[in-house]
Structure 1
């Protein structure tokens, strides 16, 4: 069960206890609207992660423009060891679910604390470095949340 589902079930139980069933549906609709739907362009295509959209709410280590560009993460040991370390780091972060894993690839969903907005974060682990892409599903600006997330993971990976 995803963290969002657990939270939504707790919300339903709490709402029933306070005898305000009329609030349940609008809150659930609001929460599901904030999470959005995973884009269909995620994953590795022709050896690349998907390009960022024109909006500033995305960073990608394969991007050439300054607005979206970010440095790839360094390997920590072999590619396999780095992937295992990244997966462990992601599992230790709050409101993060690893939703896809394959050799050389991880995808995680990060949920914001208050409104449960979901960002998709991808890692393509190569022989020399880890390419990353972090993008908001909804909205236009992200106040550098995606960039700060990758820099936080960079720091944690190097510890």
Structure 2
């Protein structure tokens, strides 16, 4: 018996709307597989930004270390104020795009976590952001 044939691209294509534009991360689509800490997000999509105390450079370094330590994670872009990582699911290799923006106006780190494919994420994006928040608090 041979291997099962590969059916489609489970990673999907990298979105073209990522990044910080006019101090904001992209809003979530209507599907329930995204959370964002900025904009006019409804309760289903809204999540609190990450807080930090002290130096913003150290906060971003700590965040980068926490994200790098998570399984199946690829850092795509990292600057002094922006971090973009791809997280792949263990079983099927679905990819979620997660962005962090150090917001100097609000003195917080804004966050957006969204699945590339499908409708429901079974709460994975929200759980990931909360796990990162917890790891930052104890790091």
TM-score (norm 2): 0.91
8 A contact 1:76–1:157 mirrored in 2: no
CA offset at residue 78 of structure 1?
A: 1.6
Aligned equivalent of 1:98? 75
More helix by percentage: 1
* Pick aligned residue for 1:35 from 1, 5, 11: 11
Aligned equivalent of 1:133? 112
CA offset at residue 76 of structure 1?
A: 4.0
Aligned equivalent of 1:54? 30
Q: Structure 1 unaligned runs (5+)?
A: 1-18
Instruction: Give a deviation string over 1:57-102, Cα, whole Å, max 9, x none.
Output: 0000014311100000001422111110011111111101111012
- Runs of 4+ aligned structure 1 residues displaced above 4 Å come to none
Aligned equivalent of 2:137? 158
Total equivalences in the alignment: 135
8 A contact 2:73–2:87 mirrored in 1: yes
Q: Which has the larger radius of gyration?
A: 1
Q: Distance in 2 between the 1:90 and 1:134 partners?
A: 13
Q: Secondary structure at the match of 2:130?
A: helix
TM-score (norm 1): 0.80
Q: Distance in 1 between the 2:32 and 2:53 partners?
A: 29
Q: Secondary structure at the match of 1:85?
A: helix
Q: Structure 2 unaligned runs (5+)?
A: none
Q: Distance in 1 between the 2:137 and 2:54 partners?
A: 11
Map residues 1-159 of structure 1 onto 2, 5 A cutoff.
Answer: 20=2, 23=3, 26-27=5-6, 29-30=7-8, 33-64=9-40, 65-127=42-104, 128-159=107-138
Considering Cα pairs closer than 8 Å and 6+ residues apart, tell me whether 1 or 2 has the greater RCO: 2
